Amino acid sequence: MSFSKKRVWVIVLAIMIATVALAYLSRNGTNPVSKAVNSVITPVESQLSKVIHPVRKVFSYIGKMEEYEAENQRLKQENIELNARIKDVSTYKEENERLRKLLGITNEYEYETVAARVVSYETDNWFSYITLDKGTSNGIDVSDTVITSDGLLGQVTEVGVNWAKVSTVINSESSAGVRITRNGEIGIVEGDTMLSKSRKCRLGYLTANASIIAGDILETSGLGGIYPPGLPVGKISEISKDNMGRLDYAIIEPFVNFDKLYEVVVITGWSVPQAAEIPVDTIQPQQEQPEENQPEAVNDENQNVG
Partner 1 sequence: MRNLKITLWVVAIALIESMFGTYIKIGEIMPDLLFVFVLCYAAEKNTVSSTITVSVICGALADCFSGRIFGNNLAIFLICAVLMWMIKENIFKSGILVSLLLIFVLSVFGKSMYFVSNISVLKNVGYLYSLFRIILPEALFNTVISAIMLPLLRLTLKKRSGLYT
Work out how close the CB of 159 gets to partner 1 at its nearest, in angstroms, rounded to a whole number. Answer: 11
Q: Could you tell me if 252 and 235 are in contact, meaning their C-beta atoms sit under 8 angstroms apart? A: yes
Work out how close the CB of 158 gets to partner 1 at its nearest, in angstroms, rounded to a whole number. Answer: 6
For 233, the 3-state DSSP assignment is strand
Q: Which of 6, 10, 37, 115 binds partner 1 (CB under 8 A)?
A: 37
Of all helices (H) and strands (E), which one includes residue 56? helix 32-63
Work out how close the CB of 234 gets to partner 1 at its nearest, in angstroms, rounded to a whole number. Answer: 17
- C-alpha torsion angle, residues 29, 34, 36, 39 (rounded to 10): -100
Of 53-112, binders to partner 1 (CB under 8 A) are 56
For 169, the 3-state DSSP assignment is coil
Q: Is the dihedral of CA 228, 234, 236, 240 positive or negative?
A: negative
The Cα–Cα gap between 84 and 78 comes to: 10
Asked if 262 interacts with partner 1 (CB under 8 A), we say: no
Q: Which is nearer to partner 1, 157 or 220 (CB)?
A: 157
Asked if 150 interacts with partner 1 (CB under 8 A), we say: no
Asked if 136 interacts with partner 1 (CB under 8 A), we say: no
Of 162-191, binders to partner 1 (CB under 8 A) are 165-167, 172-173, 190-191
b/e code 230-255 from CB counts within 10 Å (16+ = b): ebbbbbbeebeeeeeebbbbbbbbbb
Residues at the site binding partner 1, with contacts judged by CB under 8 A: 4-5, 8-9, 11-12, 15-16, 19-20, 22-23, 26-27, 31, 33-34, 37-38, 41, 44-45, 48-49, 52, 56, 119-127, 129, 131, 157-158, 165-167, 172-173, 190-194, 197-198, 202, 259, 298, 300, 302
